[in-house]
Structures are given as structure tokens and as C-alpha cells.
Chains A and B, each alone.
Chain A
Amino acid sequence: MELDFEVDKLTNSIENVVTGDSFRTDVILISKTDLKNISKKNKWLFDWKFEFKQPQRDVYKLTIVNNETVIQGLMSVEVKSDHVYMHLVESAPFNKGKTKMYAGVAGNLVAFACKLAFQRGYEGNVSFFSKTQLVQHYIETLGAKHVGGRIMIIGKISALKLINKYFPNEKKT
């Protein structure tokens, strides 16, 4: 995994890794029609149909502006009593690994979860689960705190930093 590289991607956009071109993005709720091609057969890792069926969870898709049919990544979140819990984030199969087409998909979606947490009055607090080997990576890249076990939390200050990085033109509520 490549961790050290120069970053100038400071907008709510994703970057074509070959050309370096940036494309502005939208994050919107997924529909049943979107789910048709999202399956393990099409190289998605998680069962997104299951996520969609859970009444307490909201599944969002990240798309390029004016190209809503091509899903760049998905996120499943649940609004808890004191924070937003990020169940899952997954980049589209063509945005995974060394041959990915666009960079910045996961970061955009995490920043969106932080924005939701501010909108819900939870001071940007977002929790998620991490594998042991990725704890340090999340601490360094997201400013997340390791609470114990598999629990990670993005607090107010880190959430603000992420929102400023990925959504620099939007005001916090």
C-alpha cells in the first residue's frame, strides 16, 4: 500500500490517476435501480443489497457531477443517539488497488459522513471499525482516535479538517 505521496487534492473532487484531471463529485442516496449492478459478481466486496435493506442505515453513492449513473464509491451510515456510525465505505471495483481509475473516493465519503454528523448536531463525531493493521493509517490520515478494540472515532477537530479539505466551499452548520 502506497502511503507517502504528495497531495494537492483539496476539493470535493476525485482525481484521474493517469491524467491528473480533477472531477467534481456529488454524494447522494442510492436508489434500488442503482443496486442492479452492485454485486459480488461485479467485484464489489460487500453485500450492498443487505445494507440497503436495513431500515436504520442510509446508503450513499459518490458520483462525478453530471454522471450520476456511474458509481465511484458507496458508503453505509447510521445515525446513532450521539454520533454517526459509518458501517461501510467501499470504492468501486475500478477504483481499487494500483490500477485504480480515480483517487480520493474514500476520503470524500468519510468527509461527507463528518458533514452529516455536524448537520445532526453531533459536533462531527463519526465512528467506524478498523482492522488492527490499519489503525495507525487512520490515525495519520483521518486524525481518528483509537478507542479500543476495533473502534475508531473521528472527533470535532479532525472532522472539521476533513470537511475543509474535501468540501472547502461549504459552510458548516
Chain B
Amino acid sequence: MKKKHKDLDVDFIGEQSAMTKEEELAISQFLKKEKQKSKKQSAQTHKRRRIKDKQMA
């Protein structure tokens, strides 16, 4: 059976107007938060794996 999927269907993306300082800051803050979240998740996964390994030993 073929999979139904949505594909990008636009003729153009973006605007020719410049990015404001506020927008630049919002992007940087969002990326920082995402990085922290991903670090935290990765640390939790490692911790869980260590506990599991200990239990197995």
C-alpha cells in the first residue's frame, strides 16, 4: 500500500525584508533552549542506561 504523505508545495519561501534584532534574539534564545533540552535528555538517557547496566550486572 502506498503511503499518503504531505510534501512541501510552495512556489516561494521568505520575505525580502530584513530580520529585526528582536527576531534574531528570539531565534538565538530558542536555539539555546533547544540545545539545553537536548543535553538534559541525553544526560537522563545515560543515567537510565547506567542504572539498567548496574541492575543487569
Which residues of A approach B to under 8 Å, CB–CB? 1-9, 45-47, 50-51, 76, 80-83, 85-91, 95-97, 100, 104, 106-107, 110, 125, 127-130, 134, 137-138, 140-142, 145, 147-151, 153, 155-156
Contacts and interface: CB of A to CB of B under 8 A. Distances in A.
B9 interface: yes
Contact of B6 (A3, A51, A89, A151): A3
A82 B9 contact: no
A77 to B, nearest CB: 10
Contacts of A145: 30
A96 B10 CA distance: 8
Contact of B7 (A5, A51, A91, A129): A5
A7 B5 contact: yes
Contact of A90 (B7, B11, B30): B11
Nearest to B17: A129
A88 B16 contact: yes
Contact of A127 (B7, B9, B27): B27
Interface residues of B, number: 25
B2 A141 contact: no
A91 B8 contact: no
Nearest to B32: A82
18 contacts: A2-B9, A6-B2, A51-B16, A83-B27, A88-B13, A96-B11, A104-B7, A106-B12, A107-B7, A125-B31, A128-B13, A129-B14, A129-B19, A130-B13, A137-B9, A137-B10, A141-B8, A147-B27
